Amino acid sequence: MPAIDLFTPLQLGSLTLSNRMVMAPLTRNRSSPEGVPHALNVEYYRQRAGAGLILTEATCIAPEAVGYPLTPGIWNSAQVAGWKTVTDSVHAAGGKIFCQLWHVGRISHPDLQPGGQLPVAPSPIKPAGDAFTLQGPKPFVTPRALALEELPGIVAAYRHAAANALLAGFDGVEVHAANGYLLDEFLRDGSNQRQDPYGGGIEQRARLLLEVMTAVCSVCDASRVGVRLSPVQPFNDMRDSNPQATFSRVVELLNPYGLAY
């Protein structure tokens, strides 16, 4: 097989990348306390605009999605305006940038939640480990299981965040469904023990992810949408009884969307 030059263009969905290097999402904890990107974020991403594509640090879709201090959001107009200064800077330097959409699920703490409420999850299963708060590490708590009637609101929050990402000038979005956060918690049977249409078999556990992907692709062309999965990643106390079967089927269910990746 001939060698491939990393500095040659690459077609990714409907985008032509200038080279084959993609910057992975890296949580930096450098936004304002209100989750608004500012000058430090602008400089950070501008310095890296030579990558073929930048994937932003994980970006919270709603106040309830927050699980770490000083992480950015994309749910309100101030955050959109802050991100617009970032995307303008990256584009001026010739780069392309996707926004990674994030809901942490149970990987949070009441100190980081509106009104000190419990984090949410598919099932009330406490993960091992500590949350990172402004007061230092604190043990995770037992999350509150999302009620069936709340799930359309989660889907709507992803749709709204994707629409805001386009307003902020992003070239596309990546749905974070990996590493033990909310969508991954629904996918794996170690964290999802629901007895309703969103739990049980693989297709039921994948239901929320598919509804989110449908919603996101309703506002952002699927050729500019990616999804991140982590089939065997144990981070955040995650496990699945049969990851090969689970994620092989999840990928089969995602294939018809025509995603960028």
| Helices vs. strands in the chain: H and E counts, helices first | 7, 12
Length of the chain: 261
User: Helix H segments across 47-105?
Assistant: 77-92
Distance CA 105, CA 123 (A): 10
Q: Annotated active-site positions, please?
A: 181
Biggest CA pair distance of the chain: 58
- Element at 154 (helix H, strand E): helix 151-167
Tokens 């303008």 belong to 88
Cβ 101 vs Cβ 56: under 8 Å: no
Distance CA 216, CA 16 (A): 21
Pairing of strands 53-55, 97-102: parallel
Distance CA 8, CA 101 (A): 28
3-class DSSP assignment, residue 187: helix
